[in-house]
Amino acid sequence: MDLSTLSNHGTICQMARAPVKRRLERPPLLTTIKPDRADGRRRVVIESVTPEIDAGQFAAKRTVGERVTVEADVFADGHDALACVLRWRHESSQLWSDVPMVPVVNDRWRGEFMVSELGRYFYTIQGWVDAFETWSRQFAKRVEAGHDITLELEVAARMIEAAAPRADGSDSNRLMAYAAAIRKGPSSASSALAGDLPQLMERYADKSFAVTYARELQVTVDPELASFSSWYELFPRSAGDPAQHGTFRDVEKRLPGLAEMGFNVLYLPPIHPIGRTHRKGANNSTKAGPDEPGSPWAIGSEEGGHKSINPRLGTMEDFQHLLGAADKQGMQVALDIAFQCSPDHPYTREHPEWFKHRPDGTIQYAENPPKKYEDIFPFDFETEHWRELWDELLSIVLFWIDHGVTIFRVDNPHTKPFPFWEWLIGEVKREHPDVILLAEAFTRPKVMYRLAKVGFTQSYTYFAWRNTASELVQYFTELSQPPIREYFRPNLWPNTPDILTEYLQTGGRPAFAARLILAATLGASYGIYGPAFELCEARARESGSEEYLDSEKYQIRKWDYNSPDSLRELITLVNKVRIENPALHSDRGLRFHPTENDQLIAYTKTTPDLADVVLTVVNVDPHHTQAGMVTLPLEDLGIRRDRGFQAHELLSGARYLWNGPRNYVEINPHSIPAQIFRFRRRLRSEHDFEYFL
Amino acid sequence: MDLSTLSNHGTICQMARAPVKRRLERPPLLTTIKPDRADGRRRVVIESVTPEIDAGQFAAKRTVGERVTVEADVFADGHDALACVLRWRHESSQLWSDVPMVPVVNDRWRGEFMVSELGRYFYTIQGWVDAFETWSRQFAKRVEAGHDITLELEVAARMIEAAAPRADGSDSNRLMAYAAAIRKGPSSASSALAGDLPQLMERYADKSFAVTYARELQVTVDPELASFSSWYELFPRSAGDPAQHGTFRDVEKRLPGLAEMGFNVLYLPPIHPIGRTHRKGANNSTKAGPDEPGSPWAIGSEEGGHKSINPRLGTMEDFQHLLGAADKQGMQVALDIAFQCSPDHPYTREHPEWFKHRPDGTIQYAENPPKKYEDIFPFDFETEHWRELWDELLSIVLFWIDHGVTIFRVDNPHTKPFPFWEWLIGEVKREHPDVILLAEAFTRPKVMYRLAKVGFTQSYTYFAWRNTASELVQYFTELSQPPIREYFRPNLWPNTPDILTEYLQTGGRPAFAARLILAATLGASYGIYGPAFELCEARARESGSEEYLDSEKYQIRKWDYNSPDSLRELITLVNKVRIENPALHSDRGLRFHPTENDQLIAYTKTTPDLADVVLTVVNVDPHHTQAGMVTLPLEDLGIRRDRGFQAHELLSGARYLWNGPRNYVEINPHSIPAQIFRFRRRLRSEHDFEYFL
């Protein structure tokens, strides 16, 4: 890229950093350790490790403070005892920490470690045949059978003596003393075994034939917001007074209200200058009037491109002031990354080589024949100059990071190559592990999963189009399965500026309320295209379309936030429930339950320690009252079967005494179409809860 | 190994081959192709390939003449058309053959190739963005929409011109002619597209940015007998006249009878000299009388070890004569490989370093405390001299291969290290891809699966202990799942010399008949410990034991083959059904069906083309007549729902007219406890069968 050319444009901010090092080779995401076959005496087998995504090609995802539970099949020939450790380290350290793994069932072993730092962790597994433990088990049986054990004691004494040189000074001496004691005979041997001899022998085990799993696996650790976030999307240009083009300053005025409602991410569509050529008018008209603002996704004009700000919204200072104001309210601002250009973008003149050209020399516009999108030029990722293109696109993300943005909603990532994203996200997160990228891909499932694998922190989902109880159960069961749940973090949106579903169009306020509660309780992360959702905007551009009438994508809208239709109170309440219940901060504890009514969906989320158990029941029929019997697996939820327990309904405040696994629920969608229960109880010990009234 | 020492023993045959090259490094079973990231324009993703076992670490298994159906998720960013080929080659060739893959559903692609040679095949997948096909699809839509297509024709003409240099002389000329034709306008373009232009453009596609899957995967191709075999086990020493020690010559006399019954593998327990020290007497007595023959698994005496023959059975010439005689009857002889020694084995003196020693200097006998097996010394695979030990054990297998044996039943492989087996089987099959090794492991499931992965051709199963219908359905459903079915070839034994199940002990003749039919129809490979099974021997050594009373393991037994109890006729009939029905030659077409009766199990096996469909219904209750309604998925079986079809019962010869999916079956276990139906029909075309009466 020619920086001198770029700097001719005052509004294109100069790259604020040293030239980015391009790494075309994949960063060391796949470290294959060659299995050590030089010694045929390494008898342990380690296989079927979880989590492991595509043979270790991709990292699992966690957030700070979470645990990584690792399992593997570990076994050897014969019947010898084994020992097994989980080895882990943060990328900043070369030193492995070893955690003992314990056998679960059927040769499966389990261990875990906690991730407390951002960035990448590595883990693998090591196992070895534990000769001393094998001896100990056999010894007990021999004694019981009354065998002569003289020789066996000598076998053990020799093993202990062999361990001594591996031990530290004092431990070494104690081992030698144990060896002598063992030789004295059965009773002295028994007291050695009852003492800390087994622990010492475990600590100084003979690992000469230990086997290390063939791969080092990885987990990417993101900030907590990556797994628990509540997004609110608004168009800044609609934030101003009537008949005015809104600005960042206007957006600031909305911040206290958004924070009060309980949102922690404010997402803004692109804030860059908007193209003039083929600008779209109201309702996607191909002709725009002179005052029409155009689509924010038609990025770039004489006023600049992806590193510039639309002057009608304000200046860079105004933008950064907004970031600061949001931060004071406990909110982060998410920017839109849309790698495409309007015909007026400076790139089209300075870097025509980044675009595909038609035989007549013009740049190829976006199209999906027979549809044409002449206001948009896609980049040509098959250009010979792809290296420079990649560098420039990365520099856009780094530019905004340098200006204080850490959350990005990435527009249509599925139309850019996967290797590009893998490289870009790797580069970004290497120095900025706190950055969150939400993939806006609504496309075929495997494409969406792949984008999550190559590094996107969160992903949009099909949630908007899953409206029946059975569709929701099926889809969220799929997302909860390993390995998908290890890398795909759903962010649930009941609407977006592109998506006004038929369910919302026809279901009225109960439909909006039901979708809100589903999104906010099924998903640890969810979002709404705020003004339209809050105010139950349900008018489609035309019948059969999911486009909004008078869509904000093409025009400024004034919203009456004081309308009696506003869902503001319910949203506030639901977000409060989310914040107060740790079970809703993660998607890992999701489980569905039968309701005996197709229109009622019921599911629990739980914290791993069962300290918080939340049951949500939603009536997905926006028209009629529905009732059913919800059947809960009480024991799995830590609830005793032999006494009543309190179900505290958090939206109404009502408290019910429930008894046994089957309980009656009746929901009128015209009041609130859902009930969210927290089961109240007194903790006696970690695994023995008592539910109180 | 010191050959000069060994050759002092006349009965130990000298190694008949050049010293075996030891390959400690795994043979190239895991070829990792570094993904080509040097060019960011390689946009295609290839993932979730099947079959692929443990990230390509192990090979799938097939037999000569079978097809390998390969599937993968293949996709790219955006909406461009893709092309995809399955690349395969036999290990003897460096040249890949490419087969087009076709999209199935949801970005899944499928292709297949046939394996016609023994040995290893490699396969992988290559995909690329197909620019011309993308253009063609869009072109059709543009024409339909009435767009101006002048520029589009020029785009195509340039693509065609660019393809010409990749084509052979005449094709190249034709491409240039097509380019000119396209430029002439829409109608001439349409006729070019209706001609063979698309095929030419496919053949000479631009693969500069093609992506090859990261791994080369493997399939091991075995002889047909590896998947379809009927084993008969007998102790040669019992084959003689009363009061005589049987010989190979006596075994030869039984061959015509066995062949007539339809067996194709005759399996002999170890034929080597038997140790004297701690020799076991009748019924596992620890004291043997001077004339007692001992257990054939206590291998080795002054008369030699694993490469020698027990002189009481005959000479090497006799043995090889037996092999020839069996071959003439269409049978192969399987030898037992039991890597363990009696205390009198020459190895114990010549290679004491291959055994574990107790502190008093004696060799450690086998034990499972508190049980001792003092007639057996296991090898110590953790010896420093493991390399020499491995070489010697391999030389035993190669010795018998050199003497004409190609099938081995391997005793207790799960008590020897997995790396040892992987190496040994790799070495054996590299030059002898026709060799079949059956793993006699009855141990934890993951250990059994791992043995199959590291290379065992067939595996014993838990079949003997799965006696209820639901147990059988569950277990064989597990074995039918991918990836298990790709590498684990079950060989079903209702009994062995070690296993006389309670079901057989208590169920009488109907139990034997039911188990025979289950083994022979559930498993493409099955076997019986013949004399005892044929004659319904059901007497256990004591109550609660699975050991036979007067077990042939420790004594010579005389069997009355003319007993009225003999199952000979039924066995002959069942094997005939097996031979005549290709559906029973493979385990891949197995599927269970509901019967509405817990005591009836029903399942079909089918050939891939549905030309042969066999339904087996077994009454697993050996005491009472059971009846039920069998429900079949007619369409999946190629049977029309709208007319009756003929169910030909192959054991009785009866023919029934069935109608619709639910049909009545009633089975009296005291006649034959099962019915085996073949559905008769006339073929109209490959996928349109008509069942006739």
Mean pLDDT check: name the lowest of A24-33, A494-503, B204-213, B524-533.
Answer: A24-33
Residue A512 to residue A567: CA distance in whole angstroms: 8
* pTM for the predicted model, two decimal places: 0.92
- Percentages helix, strand, coil for chain B (3-state, rounded to 5) are 30, 25, 45
Contact A359 B154 (CB under 8 A): yes
Q: Report the candidate in A517, A669, A661 with the shortest Cα–Cα distance to residue A593.
A: A661
The two structure tokens encoding residue A682: 């007194």
- Chain B residues lying within 8 Å of A420, measured CB to CB: 40
Distances (CA, A) of A208 to A43, A129, A166, A205, B271: 11, 10, 11, 9, 38
Residue A534 to residue A568: CA distance in whole angstroms: 6
Our CA angle for B339, B341, B345, nearest 5°, is 130
Q: Report the candidate in A462, A447, A521, A422 with the shortest Cα–Cα distance to residue A220.
A: A422
pLDDT tens profile B240-252: 998 899 999 999 9
- Chain B residues lying within 8 Å of A369, measured CB to CB: 138, 141-142, 145, 147
CB atoms within 10 A of CB A387: 14
What is the least distance, in Å, from the CA of B5 to any CA of chain A?
Answer: 25
Contact yes or no for B65/B90 (Cβ under 8 A): no
Locate the DSSP E strands across B620-672.
626-631, 645-649, 655-658, 662-667
What is the least distance, in Å, from the CA of B141 to any CA of chain A?
Answer: 6
The two structure tokens encoding residue A512: 């909006």
Q: How high is the pLDDT of residue A39?
A: 83
- Chain A residues lying within 8 Å of B154, measured CB to CB: 359
Q: How high is the pLDDT of residue B31?
A: 33
Contact yes or no for A680/A692 (Cβ under 8 A): yes
What is the least distance, in Å, from the CA of A54 to any CA of chain B?
Answer: 8
How is residue A414 annotated by DSSP?
G
Residues of chain A with pLDDT under 50: 1-37, 686-693
Average pLDDT over residues B632-637: 94
pLDDT above 90 for B436: yes
A411 assigned to active site: yes
- Percentages helix, strand, coil for chain A (3-state, rounded to 5) are 30, 25, 45
Q: How high is the pLDDT of residue A30?
A: 34
- Chain A residues lying within 8 Å of B73, measured CB to CB: 446
Phi, psi of A440, deg, nearest 5: -90, 75
From B80, B250, B427, B440, active-site residue: B440
Distances (CA, A) of A105 to A82, A238, B169, B359, B414: 14, 59, 65, 35, 19
From A344, A411, A486, A537, active-site residue: A411
For B154, nearest residue in chain A (alpha carbons): A359
Report residue B681's pLDDT band, with 50, 70 and 90 as the boundaries: low
- Chain B residues lying within 8 Å of A42, measured CB to CB: 419
Contact A414 B154 (CB under 8 A): no
Distances (CA, A) of A348 to A343, A364, A376, A489, A631: 7, 11, 11, 36, 61
- Look at chain B and count its residues: 693
Report residue B26's pLDDT band, with 50, 70 and 90 as the boundaries: very low
Contact A77 B155 (CB under 8 A): no
Residue B208 to residue B553: CA distance in whole angstroms: 66
Q: Are strands A613-619 and A600-606 parallel, antiparallel or unpaired?
A: antiparallel
Contact yes or no for B160/B192 (Cβ under 8 A): no
Report residue B640's pLDDT band, with 50, 70 and 90 as the boundaries: confident
The two structure tokens encoding residue B125: 């997948």
> What ipTM does this complex have?
0.92
Three-class SS string for B45-101?
EEEEEECCECCCCECEEEECCCEEEEEEEEECCCCCCEEEEEEEEECCCCCCEEEEC
The per-residue DSSP string of A213-272 comes to -SEEEEEEEE-GGGTSEEEEE--GGGSSSTTS---HHHHHHHHHHHHHHT--EEEE---S
Q: How high is the pLDDT of residue A242?
A: 85
Contact A370 B158 (CB under 8 A): no
Residues 6+ apart with CB under 8 A from B119: B90, B91, B92, B220, B221, B429, B433
Report residue B628's pLDDT band, with 50, 70 and 90 as the boundaries: very high
Residue B391 to residue B351: CA distance in whole angstroms: 13
- Distance, CA of B193 to chain centre: 47
Average pLDDT over residues B575-580: 98
What is the least distance, in Å, from the CA of B685 to any CA of chain A?
Answer: 36
Of B25, B147, B418, the CB nearest to A45: B418
| Residue located via tokens 């009836």 | B600
Residue A678 to residue A650: CA distance in whole angstroms: 7
pLDDT tens profile A254-282: 999 999 999 999 999 999 999 999 999 99
- Chain A residues lying within 8 Å of B37, measured CB to CB: 24-26, 419
For B80, nearest residue in chain A (alpha carbons): A415
The per-residue DSSP string of A310-367 comes to -TTT--HHHHHHHHHHHHHTT-EEEEEE--EE-TT-HHHHH-GGGS-B-TTSPBPPEE
pLDDT tens profile B460-498: 999 999 999 999 999 999 999 999 999 999 999 999 999
What is the least distance, in Å, from the CA of A562 to any CA of chain B?
Answer: 42
Contact yes or no for A357/A347 (Cβ under 8 A): no
Q: Are strands B525-529 and B229-233 parallel, antiparallel or unpaired?
A: parallel
Contact A35 B54 (CB under 8 A): no
Of B26, B40, B386, the CB nearest to A417: B40
Residue B470 to residue B595: CA distance in whole angstroms: 11
Number of helices followed by number of strands (H, E) in chain A? 17, 33
Q: How high is the pLDDT of residue B551?
A: 98
Our CA angle for A499, A295, A516, nearest 5°, is 25
Percent of chain B with pLDDT over 90: 89
Q: How high is the pLDDT of residue A681?
A: 66
CB burial of residue B372 (10 Å; 0-12, 13-18, 19+): middle
| Residue located via tokens 């100069």 | A14
Contact A151 B360 (CB under 8 A): yes
Residue A221 to residue A434: CA distance in whole angstroms: 9
Our CA angle for B4, B5, B11, nearest 5°, is 100
Residue B540 to residue A262: CA distance in whole angstroms: 74
Mean pLDDT of chain B: 92
Q: How high is the pLDDT of residue A21?
A: 47
Residues 6+ apart with CB under 8 A from A70: A49, A50, A51, A86, A101, A110, A111, A112, A113, A123, A125
Contact yes or no for A661/A633 (Cβ under 8 A): yes
